[in-house]
Amino acid sequence: MEDFGSTSTIERIKPGVVLKQPLDFKTKGLADKVNRCFSVEPLILRKLGHHPRIVKYFGQQDRGLLLSQASHGNLQTYIDENDSFIDLHQRMIWCRQLTEAIMHIHSHGVIHFDLRPRNILVHETKPGSRDLLLCDFGGATCDEMVQSIPALDIFGLGSLFYTILMGHWPYRSSPGPPETIDEKITYEMEVSKCFSQGEFPDVTKLVGGSVIMGCWTKQYATAEEVLYALDREMQITVLV
C-alpha cells in the first residue's frame, strides 16, 4: 500500500523504514519543483543530523529517500481521527516538542517554510507515548541558499499550536485542511487577508492562547523564547 503526497509516494519497504519517491510530472514547472524538493531534502536532513524531534534519514535509494516510519502516521490524520481522546497535557507536550524541533533546525541555519500538520509525524518512541517528528524538508532553505527568516517558522508555530489545541485550523470549524484546490486557494486568501490586517481568532480563553498570539504578532524573536513562554504556560496550567 502506498500513500500519496503532493509530490511523492511513501512506501514501507521494511519494518521501521519507508521509501519516499518522487512522482513523475510531464508539466515542466511541476517536474522542476519535484526535482528541487528531492535535491534539497537530503542536503537538509544530512545537515540536521540525528535529533529526537526530526524524522530519521537513512540515505538515498535511486531518486528516493529512506526515512524512519512513524507508527501513527501524520499529525493531521491523527487529530482528525482521535481529537476527542487527546487530553490537554498531550496537546501541550506536542506544542513543546514542535518548538524543540524548530529550535534545532534554526540552530543549523535551516528554515522549514511549510509548517502544517501533514508535515509532522506521530510516533510511539516508547510504550504508550505519542511523540512528534518534523518531516518534509523539500521546501526548506538553509543559510547557504538564501537569507534565513526564522520569523516565518515562528508565525507558523502559532497556527500549529492553534490547530493542536483546538482540533481544527484557524478560521475553520470543521477538522482537516481544505480538500480541493479551489477550497485551499479561497481559504488561504481569506486567512492571509485577516492575518495581514492583524485580525486573528480569539484565543484569550484558550490555554496557551497568549503564546499563540505571541507567535502571530511577532513577540518572539527566536524559538527559544517561544519554548520559555510555553514552559511558563504549562507551569501555570499545572498550578491551576
Residue 42 has pLDDT above 90, yes or no: yes
Residues 38 and 55 in one domain: yes
Residues 43 and 107 in one domain: no
Q: How many CB atoms lie within 10 A of CB 82?
A: 14
64 and 79 co-located in one domain: no
Range of the domain at 24: 2-68
pLDDT band for 3, please (50, 70, 90 cuts): very low
Query: By the 8 A CB rule, do 137 and 112 touch?
Result: yes
Residue 74 carries which DSSP code?
B
CA-based nearest residue to 12, from 124, 4, 20: 20
At 4, is the pLDDT very low, low, confident or very high (cuts 50, 70, 90)?
very low
Work out the angle at residue 157's Cα, subtended by the Cα atoms of residues 152 and 160, and round it to the nearest 5 degrees.
130
Q: Which CATH number goes with the domain that contains 37?
A: 3.30.200.20
| Distance from C-alpha of 58 to C-alpha of 46, rounded to nearest angstrom | 9
Asked whether the whole model's pTM tops 0.85, one would answer yes
Q: Do 52 and 158 have their domain in common? A: no
H or E element in which residue 209 lies? helix 209-216
Residue 5 has pLDDT above 60, yes or no: no
Judged against a pLDDT cut of 80, whether residue 236 lies above it is answered with no
For 84-114, what is each residue's pLDDT tens digit? 999 999 999 999 999 999 999 999 999 998 9
Is residue 58 domain-shared with residue 132, that is, in the same domain?
no
With a pLDDT cut of 70, the percent of the chain lying above it is: 91
32 burial (CB, 10 Å; 0-12 / 13-18 / 19+) is exposed
- Give yes or no: residues 93 and 194 share one domain: yes
Confidence of residue 188 (pLDDT cuts 50, 70, 90): confident
Give residue 143's pLDDT. 57
Question: Mind listing the pLDDT tens digit for each residue in 125-174?
Answer: 999 999 999 999 987 776 554 455 889 999 999 999 999 999 999 998 77
Q: Provide the terminal-to-terminal Cα distance of the chain, rounded to the nearest Å.
A: 46
Residues 30, 99, single domain; the answer is no
At 90, which helix (H) or strand (E)?
A: helix 88-107
